[in-house]
Structure 1
Amino acid sequence: METSAVAALYAEHGRGLLLYARSTARDDGLAEDALQEVFGRLLARKGGLAAAGNARAYLYESVRNATLNLLRTRRRARGREEKAGRSRPLFTEPEDLLAEREALEAALDQLPEEQREVVVLKVWGDLTFEGIGAALAISPNTAASRYRYGMEKLRQAFSEVSEHGKP
């Protein structure tokens, strides 16, 4: 693909794709690597994304696959030294939003992986249930129910926080 086309895709979808990769990998560096791998492959790709149909769903599916592949590679290399701590946040936010963001990340971490993936794709990826279904190889109805159950659990977690001050 042409560099300008890949740059346009990154400008439009990059942040959402990175958030999705971060929610799957739970590691900023690995998420960045997955995103770099996907966009690097796009640059090397001869044709455009017309054959892929839904470009957004294709990108999310590609990021998911790249993230899972990198996680598998990491698991196979357990003998290597594990990264200590968490890298600095990619996006700086005002202090008053930091606690809210941390609470949201903690609540997302408590969701089953299937529900978390769908919630992240719907909210940050702005995908339809059809697009989520295509990206995760599930039916749109399954995507919708996972989203509904995930959001219900998030609402419960945040209502407990507002009532008791912590989960």
Structure 2
Amino acid sequence: MNKEIRSDNDQLLLRSFIGGDESAITTLIERHRKKVYNYILMLVKDPQTADDLFQETFIKVISSLRAGRYSENGKFISWVLRIAHNQVIDHFRGGKKPAHITSDDAGYDLLNNKKLADPNIEEEMIHDQIEQDVRNLIDHLPVEQREVVVLRHYFDLSFKEIAQQTGVSINTALGRMRYALINLRKLIDEKQIAFA
């Protein structure tokens, strides 16, 4: 039910932003920043590139919203992650770079927004290192287990949605998650990693 409330709030914030309330987009970016950034970082494995692609993603999101190219037929975060995915694909293609859009073009300055600044860099570095360690462990899982973990924890999909996305039963999706957690615990023990 919380996910539904958040999804409804996303739609209300989107309508507010489209209606001229600039602060609504800041709230949306703050709400989904970590998930979108981590998704990009998981794919590109370079913080500098992830920062650039994150900014390009939200500049494209804002431009698309202003141009009326968003329809409320799904979750806002799913739409943003598709844009992020396309930005990553464009990045890896190299030659086919997206048209560079500046913050001025989008009418929103992502870089100089104090609300998006992190207050404590040391805590952020520790948090980032733990996330990197977890992502490295996830990379050692079998493909089916890795897919379920990524869809559940990075895309925030329910097990029903994961089952539909992967073409398996809910019980199979749950089983894959169970085995993924067992394997992650074994990897943590083997590599003697402490998350404290």
Q: Name the structure 2 match of 1:139.
A: 165
Partner of 1:73: 94
Match of residue 93, structure 1, among 126, 139, 142: 126
Structure 2 CA distance for aligned equivalents of residues 61 and 148 of structure 1: 27
Q: TM-score, normalised by structure 2?
A: 0.56
Name the counterpart of 2:68: 47
Instruction: Normalising by structure 1, report the TM-score.
Output: 0.63
Listed one character per residue, the Cα deviations across residues 88-127 of structure 1 (whole Å, up to 9, x for unaligned) are 9992227xx95x5454232122246675455234214423
- Residues of 1 paired with 2:56 and 2:174: CA distance? 28
What code does the residue aligned with 1:53 have? G
Does the CA contact (< 8 Å) of 1:37 and 1:66 recur in 2?
yes
Residues 102 and 53 of structure 1, relative CA distance in 2, 3 Å threshold? closer
Instruction: Rate the CA distance shift 1:92–1:10 in 2: closer, same or farther, 3 A.
Output: same
Aligned Cα root-mean-square deviation (Å)? 3.9
Alpha-carbon shift at residue 70 of structure 1 (Å): 0.9
Q: Evaluate the alpha carbon distance shift between residue 55 and residue 114 of structure 1 in structure 2; reply closer, same or farther with a 3 A threshold.
A: farther
Equivalent position of 1:64 in the other structure: 85
Q: Which runs of 5+ in 2 are unaligned?
A: 1-17, 98-120
Q: Report how far residue 21 of structure 1 moved.
A: 0.8
Aligned to 1:23: 42
Return the letter of the residue paired with 1:59: V
One-letter amino acid matched to 1:139: Q
Distance 2:135 2:183 in 1: 15
Structure with max Cα Rg: 2
Counterpart of 1:155 (choices 161, 171, 182) is 182
Aligned to 1:79: none
% identical equivalent positions? 22
**Does the CA-based 8 Å contact 2:61-2:80 persist in structure 1?**
no
> Which runs of 5 or more structure 1 residues have no equivalent in the other structure?
77-87
Alignment of 1:94-133 (within 5 A): 98=129, 101-111=131-141, 116=146, 118-128=148-158
Matched residue, 2:31: 12
The superposition leaves residues 1-51 of structure 1 with CA deviations (integer Å, 9 ceiling, x where unpaired) of: 554232122111010111111111111122222211111012222237444
Q: Whole-Å Cα distance in 2 between the matches of residues 139 and 131 of structure 1? A: 6
CA deviation string 1:29-76 (max 9, x = no partner)? 2222221111101222223744452111111121112112212218x9
Q: Structure 1 128/116 Cα, relative in aligned 2: closer, same or farther at 3 Å?
A: same
Counterpart contact for 1:115–1:149, Cα < 8 Å: yes
Equivalenced residue count is: 148
C-alpha contact (below 8 Å) 1:24/1:117 kept by paired residues: no
